[in-house]
């Protein structure tokens, strides 16, 4: 499988997941890969963070533990995708 | 002292095989898009928003419902038992029914008291009674009181869940009343004269006998009063029934629709009676 | 306050409780004199992975036949309170019921759905939440106790039974009813247990409110009942609700504003409603969920209202967070402990001021009479502050 393509697909899927899980009124293309997810233009909060972690676990089987690890993983779509790829079994 | 109804707001829609989307209505009513909420909270925001003109930001919110936020609770139960997963945080939070009160307070910028109150057979009556007493006793100066019931599809399951027969038409409803103790700078639509509880039929009869009848009084009877008992009360009070233009479809907080309709017609006095299966009664009196 | 009817003083006439500490007020008081215990780790096998949910379950009441268990416990606790108050048959019939809970009988609906799912087929699909109503549990009690007065169920998350109490007292004081039965109920259910797990709010150790080492809450089961009625004026000094306030904080659905403003406001309103100054207050019973942010907000709020804090105590290390029932559970344990001659202490928890500058009472000291503040802050931004007192009536001589 082409790794570059699958990473792009994963990022698209994550954007869609965030839009649906957090009930955001934006389009997939409105979210940039390296945009800051929290305390940024997207206006996501700590409850959204928990929601996203649960959805990642449900959809990808990857558990994002709380604390600094979660903050790092949830920085942007890119870091979230990297975390999933690194931990996926 | 008198308690005034200075605004009413309602949403009522019979439901077929599809549910009309509500997001746009919410945005139009409260001026912003509220995310992370389901249909029950959307209905509450629409009805509450429509009754919120000139609402004091200290107003108390009293929300009631016949069935509660069924969509949110069923969603969580299915996540747990069908998908074998813990519920999503946002879904779980919305099963705490006071979530609707939170979003109403937030979107209408209220900071007063807020409660979800209910009683199985006297849903709307109980919320009005708690609000009326709080106003009469001076604990609150203004209140936004509402009753919300939503439908969860498929429609056959909704009927089965509510234990109503397959022929019964069903609806979604959200009916709200803005009550104030001081109406000096407001247009008064009606007064909420009484919300009384009776331990039995004799107590209600004795109260009715003492109630001075006026020429333009009419009688409305609640959902739990069967037709033969309805005939009895029409005869005993000698009052004409309050009639709808067409019979409304079923939802548990139907009394909210009755009161809103009456206030909108704007004439006369409504005496409304309801009972529960053990024979306790409640009465509501509204004058226009 | 603008009062239009003659007011009658409403006092606490009788109480009942079944918590993780024990069944009955006496058993609970005895356990409150010992150190708080760590929770049971409950294996939850409903979801795919084996989860352990820390819980404080009812004392000597195994988690079986949940419907039967729920009804048995609330019947028993209501009877404890009614007997303690010495209510006659006719007084019981005419009283009104005020019930607060965050989960009501959801455990019964869960068991029913699981039963249906076990026997589900193409032709017979399982249907969750049959005949739903927040008031089904109150309706059960109306039937089982033969109540002819009204019943009002309150669902305002963690303030539910505190708000039920506020309304019940108002109705007795207004002379609408002679007696009110206030009930708080919170029993184990999967929705609550797994929901709190999802919110990542749980700890496996004893809750440490306001402590620098606080790391979350423990869910607790608890059912309590309180009978309120007019003061029989029999020479016994009884506790009563002197005032209170309930306000909505729209900062966040799960968190108080850390600036403490909403919490300070509800406490200030409660004091004004009770006609008590901050300096006259003897003890604060904190909400204290031992979460990082909410304890911080509560601490900032307290320091804003009180230039120096009176004695502070916490109940949740003992019974866990009993959610909708905590309003009544903690009130009953608090006032009955004072009547029994002691102020609840949590040795080793917030023994020093720490980062939040709150010290919890460390020793079983005695308090004879005074004014006490009990605080409750819940999901949905619902905040309630109660002021109770066992001092001589503030109603003066004009009792009717």
Residue C2's pLDDT is: 40
B24 lies in the same domain as B165: yes
For residue C10, give the 3-state DSSP assignment: strand
CB C96 within 8 A of CB C168: yes
pLDDT single digits (tens) C165-211: 999 999 999 999 999 999 999 999 999 999 999 999 999 999 999 99
Chain mean pLDDT for chain B: 95
CATH number at residue C270: 3.40.47.10
Whether the pLDDT of residue C4 is over 80: the answer is no
Nearest CA in chain A to C254: A47
Domains: count for chain C: 1
Per-residue pLDDT band for B183 (boundaries 50, 70, 90) equals very high
C399 within domain boundaries: no
pLDDT at A89: 64
CB contact under 8 A, B74 and C128: yes
Residue B83 has pLDDT above 70, yes or no: yes
pLDDT band of residue C5 (cuts 50, 70, 90) is very low
| Whether residue B167 is found in the same domain as residue B256 | no
Mean pLDDT of chain A: 87
Task: Say yes or no to pLDDT of C99 above 60.
Answer: yes
Q: Is B161's Cβ below 8 Å from some Cβ in C?
A: yes
Q: What's the pLDDT score for residue C368?
A: 83
Q: Please state, for a pLDDT cut of 70, what percent of chain C lies above it.
A: 96
Which residue, B180, B200, B233, sits at the end of a domain? B180
CB contacts, 8 Å: B223 with chain C: none
- B274 and B213 share one domain: yes
Given an 8 Å threshold on Cβ–Cβ distance, is B89 in contact with A55? Answer: no
B243 — pLDDT class (breaks 50, 70, 90): confident
Q: Report how far residue A76's alpha carbon sits from residue A74's, in angstroms, rounded to the nearest whole number.
A: 6
Domain contains C317: yes
Q: Is pLDDT of A1 > 60?
A: no
Q: Name the percent of chain A lying above pLDDT 90.
A: 52
List of chain A residues whose C-beta atoms are within 8 Å of the C-beta of residue B85: 58
Host domain of residue B260: 190-287
Strand partners, C82: none
**Average pLDDT of the residues in C89-96:** 97
How far apart are alpha carbons B244 and B241 in whole angstroms? 10
Average pLDDT (B240-263) is 93
Question: Among partner residues A45, A46, A54, which is closest to C198 by beta-carbon distance?
Answer: A54
Q: Examine residue C90 and state whether it is found in any structural domain, yes or no.
A: yes
Chain B touching partners, 3 or more CB pairs below 8 A: A, C
Which residue in B199, B164, B68, B162 sits closest to B123, CA to CA? B68
Contact A55 B88 (CB under 8 A): yes
pLDDT digits (tens, 9 = 90+) for C110-135: 999 999 999 999 999 999 999 999 99
Angle between helices C292-305 and C261-274 (to 10 degrees): 50
Average pLDDT over residues B249-256: 97
Q: Is residue C341 part of a domain?
A: yes
Is pLDDT above 50 for B49?
Answer: yes
Neighbouring-strand partners of residue B145: B62, B177
Rounded to whole angstroms, the Cα distance separating A21 from A58 reads 12
Q: What is the DSSP string of B56-121?
A: -TT-EEEEE-SS-SHHHHHHHHHHHHTS-SPPPHHHHHHHSTHHHHHHHHHHHT--S-EEEEE-SS
For A20, nearest residue in chain B (alpha carbons) = B36
Q: Does domain A3-87 correspond to CATH entry 3.30.2130.10?
A: no
3-state secondary structure string across B151-173: CCCCHHHHHHHHCCCCCCCEEEE
B29 and B172: one domain? Answer: yes
DSSP class of residue C245 equals E
- pLDDT for the residue numbered A4: 58
What confidence score (pLDDT) does residue C3 get?
40
Each residue of B109-151: pLDDT tens digit? 999 999 999 999 999 999 999 999 999 999 999 999 999 999 9
Say yes or no to pLDDT of C394 above 80.
no
Residue B185 lies in a domain: no
B158 inside domain: yes
CB contact under 8 A, B88 and A54: yes
Chains touching C, CB cut-off 8 Å, 3+ pairs: A, B
- Write out the residue range of the structural domain in which residue C98 sits: 10-389
Summarised one tens digit per residue, pLDDT across range B163-178 is 999 999 999 999 999 9
The neighbouring-strand residues paired with C101 are C185
User: Which residues of chain B make contact with A66, given a CB cutoff of 8 A?
Assistant: none
Tens of pLDDT, residue by residue over C57-90, are 999 999 999 999 999 999 999 999 999 999 999 9
Asked if residue B173 and residue B80 are part of one domain, the reply reads yes
CATH at residue B28: 3.40.47.10
Average of pLDDT values for C232-255?
Answer: 91
* Interval C302-314: pLDDT, tens: 999 999 999 999 9
Distances (CA, A) of C95 to B116, C92, C167, C168, C241: 22, 5, 14, 10, 18
pLDDT digits (tens, 9 = 90+) for C21-51: 999 999 999 999 999 999 999 999 898 778 9
pLDDT over threshold 90, residue A46: no
| Contact between chains at B92 and C198 (C-beta distance less than 8 A) | yes
Q: Which residue of C has its CA nearest to B37?
A: C253
Chain B closest-CA separation from residue A17 CA (Å): 13
Interatomic CA distance for residues B281 and B274, integer angstroms: 6
Average pLDDT rounded to a whole number, residues B61-77:
96
The number of domains in chain B is: 2
Output the pLDDT for position A40.
Answer: 80
Measure the CA–CA gap between B268 and B213, rounded to whole angstroms: 11
> B227 and B166, same structural domain?
no
For residues B21 and B45, membership in a common domain is answered with yes
What is the structure's pLDDT at A64?
Answer: 87
Q: Are residues B198 and B144 in the same domain?
A: no
Checking if the pLDDT of B245 tops 90, the result is: no
What is the separation, in whole angstroms, between the first and last Cα of chain C?
18
Residue located via tokens 């007019």: C230
Say yes or no to pLDDT of C396 above 50.
no
Asked, for residue B282, whether it belongs to a domain, the answer is yes
- Across the range C216-241, mean pLDDT stands at 95
The residues that bridge with B270 in the sheet, in sequence order, are B218, B286
Q: What is the pLDDT of residue C254?
A: 83
Closest CA to B186 of B1, B7, B18: B7
Q: Give the distance from residue B36's alpha carbon to the nearest chain A alpha carbon, in angstroms.
A: 5
Report ipTM (2 d.p.). 0.97
Which span out of A2-11, C202-211, C374-383 was modeled with the highest average pLDDT?
C202-211
Whether C220 is covered by a domain: the verdict is yes
Query: Mind listing the pLDDT tens digit for each residue in A63-86?
Result: 887 777 888 899 999 999 999 998
B24 lies in the same domain as B132 = yes
* Preceding omega of B154 cis (within 30 degrees of 0): yes
Which region among A44-48, B102-106, B186-190, B197-201 has the lowest average model confidence (pLDDT)? Answer: A44-48
Integer Cα distance of C182 and C197 in angstroms = 30
Q: Which residues of A touch C200 (CB under 8 A)?
A: 50, 66
**Same domain? B49 vs B121:** yes
d(CA C91, CA C83): 12
HSE-CB at B181 with a 13 A cutoff on CA atoms is: 20
pLDDT of residue C98: 98
Whether C1 maps to a domain, the answer reads: no
Same domain, B116 and B66: yes
Judged by CB atoms closer than 8 Å, whether chains meet at B70 and C129 is answered as: yes
User: In angstroms, rounded to a whole number, what is the distance separating the alpha carbons of residues C360 and B257?
Assistant: 51
Chain A neighbors (3+ CB pairs < 8 Å): B, C
The mean pLDDT of C349-369, rounded to a whole number, is 94
Provide the 10 A C-beta neighbour count for residue A40: 12
For residues B286, C1, C5, C9, the Cα torsion angle rounded to the nearest 10 degrees is 130
For residue C163, the chain B residue with the least C-alpha distance is B115
Please indicate, yes or no, whether residues B52 and B149 belong to a single structural domain of this protein: yes
Q: Which residues contact A10 (CB under 8 A, 6 or more apart)?
A: A81, A84, A85
Candidates B24, B26, B36, partner chain A, best to mutate (most A CBs within 10 A): B36
Q: Return the pLDDT at C162.
A: 98
Residue C156 has pLDDT above 50, yes or no: yes
């Amino acid at each position: 499988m082409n790794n570059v393509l699958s990473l792009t697909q994963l990022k698209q899927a994550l954007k869609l997941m965030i839009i649906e899980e957090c009930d955001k009124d934006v389009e997939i293309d409105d979210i940039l890969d390296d945009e800051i997810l929290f305390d940024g233009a997207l206006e996501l909060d700590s409850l959204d963070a928990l929601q996203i972690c649960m959805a990642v676990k449900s959809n990808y089987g990857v558990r994002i533990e709380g604390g600094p690890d979660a903050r790092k993983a949830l920085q942007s779509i890119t870091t979230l995708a990297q975390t999933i790829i690194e931990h996926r079994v | 002292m008198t308690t005034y109804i200075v605004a009413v707001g309602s949403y009522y829609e019979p439901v077929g095989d599809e549910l009309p989307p509500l997001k746009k209505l919410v945005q139009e009513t409260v001026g912003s898009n509220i995310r992370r909420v389901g249909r029950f909270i959307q209905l509450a925001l629409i009805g509450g928003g429509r009754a919120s003109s000139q609402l004091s930001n200290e107003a108390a919110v009293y929300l009631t419902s016949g069935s509660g936020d069924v969509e949110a609770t069923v969603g969580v139960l299915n996540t747990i038992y069908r998908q074998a997963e813990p519920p999503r945080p946002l879904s779980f939070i919305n099963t705490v029914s006071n979530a609707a009160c939170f979003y109403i307070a937030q979107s209408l910028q209220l900071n007063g008291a807020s409660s979800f109150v209910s009683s199985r057979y006297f849903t709307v009556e109980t919320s009005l009674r708690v609000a009326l007493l709080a106003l009469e006793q001076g604990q609150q100066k203004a209140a936004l009181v509402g009753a919300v019931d939503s439908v969860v599809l498929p429609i056959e399951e909704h009927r089965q869940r509510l234990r109503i027969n397959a022929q019964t038409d069903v609806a979604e409803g959200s009916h709200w009343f803005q009550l104030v103790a001081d109406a000096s700078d407001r247009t008064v639509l009606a007064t909420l004269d009484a919300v009384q509880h009776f331990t039995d039929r004799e107590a209600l009869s004795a109260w009715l006998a003492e109630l001075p009848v006026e020429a333009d009084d009419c009688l409305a009877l609640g959902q739990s009063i069967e037709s033969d008992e309805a005939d009895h009360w029409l005869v005993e009070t000698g009052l004409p029934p309050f009639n709808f233009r067409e019979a409304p479809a079923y939802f548990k907080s139907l009394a909210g629709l009755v009161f809103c309709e009456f206030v909108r017609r704007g004439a006369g006095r409504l005496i409304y009676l309801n009972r529960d299966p053990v024979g306790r009664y409640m009465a509501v009196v509204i004058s226009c | 306050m603008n009062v239009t009817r003659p007011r009658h003083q409403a006092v606490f006439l009788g109480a009942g409780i079944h918590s993780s500490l024990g069944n009955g007020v006496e058993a609970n008081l005895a356990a409150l004199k010992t150190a708080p215990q760590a929770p049971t780790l409950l294996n939850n096998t409903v979801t795919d992975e084996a989860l352990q949910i820390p819980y404080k379950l009812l004392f000597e009441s195994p988690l079986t036949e949940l419907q039967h268990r729920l009804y048995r416990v609330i019947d028993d606790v209501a009877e404890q309170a009614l007997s303690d108050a010495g209510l006659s048959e006719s007084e019981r019939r005419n009283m009104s019921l005020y019930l607060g809970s965050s989960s009501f009988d959801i455990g019964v609906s869960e068991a029913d759905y699981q039963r249906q799912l076990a026997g589900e087929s193409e032709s017979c699909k399982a249907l969750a939440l049959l005949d739903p109503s927040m008031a089904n549990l109150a309706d059960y009690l109306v039937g089982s106790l033969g109540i002819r007065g009204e019943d009002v169920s309150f669902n305002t998350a963690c303030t539910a039974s505190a708000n039920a109490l506020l309304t019940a007292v108002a109705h007795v004081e207004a002379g609408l009813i002679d007696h009110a039965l206030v009930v708080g109920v919170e029993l184990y259910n999967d929705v609550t247990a797994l929901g709190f797990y999802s919110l990542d709010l749980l700890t496996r150790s004893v809750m440490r409110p306001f402590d620098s080492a606080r790391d979350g809450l423990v869910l607790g089961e608890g059912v309590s009942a309180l009978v309120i009625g007019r003061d029989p004026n029999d020479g016994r000094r009884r506790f009563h609700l002197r005032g209170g306030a309930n306000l909505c904080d729209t900062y966040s659905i799960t968190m108080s504003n850390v600036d403490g403003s909403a919490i300070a406001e509800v406490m200030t309103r409660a004091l004004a409603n009770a006609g008590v100054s901050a300096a006259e207050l003897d003890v604060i019973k904190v909400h204290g969920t031992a979460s990082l942010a909410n304890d911080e907000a509560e601490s900032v709020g307290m320091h804003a209202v009180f230039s120096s804090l009176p004695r502070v105590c916490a109940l949740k290390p003992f019974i866990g967070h009993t959610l909708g029932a905590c309003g009544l559970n903690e009130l009953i344990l608090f006032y009955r402990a004072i009547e029994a001659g002691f102020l609840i202490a949590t040795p080793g928890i917030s023994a020093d001021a720490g980062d939040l500058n709150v010290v919890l009472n460390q020793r079983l000291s005695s308090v004879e009479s005074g004014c006490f503040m009990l605080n409750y802050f819940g999901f949905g931004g619902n905040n309630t502050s109660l002021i109770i007192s066992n001092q001589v009536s503030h109603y003066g001589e004009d009792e009717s």
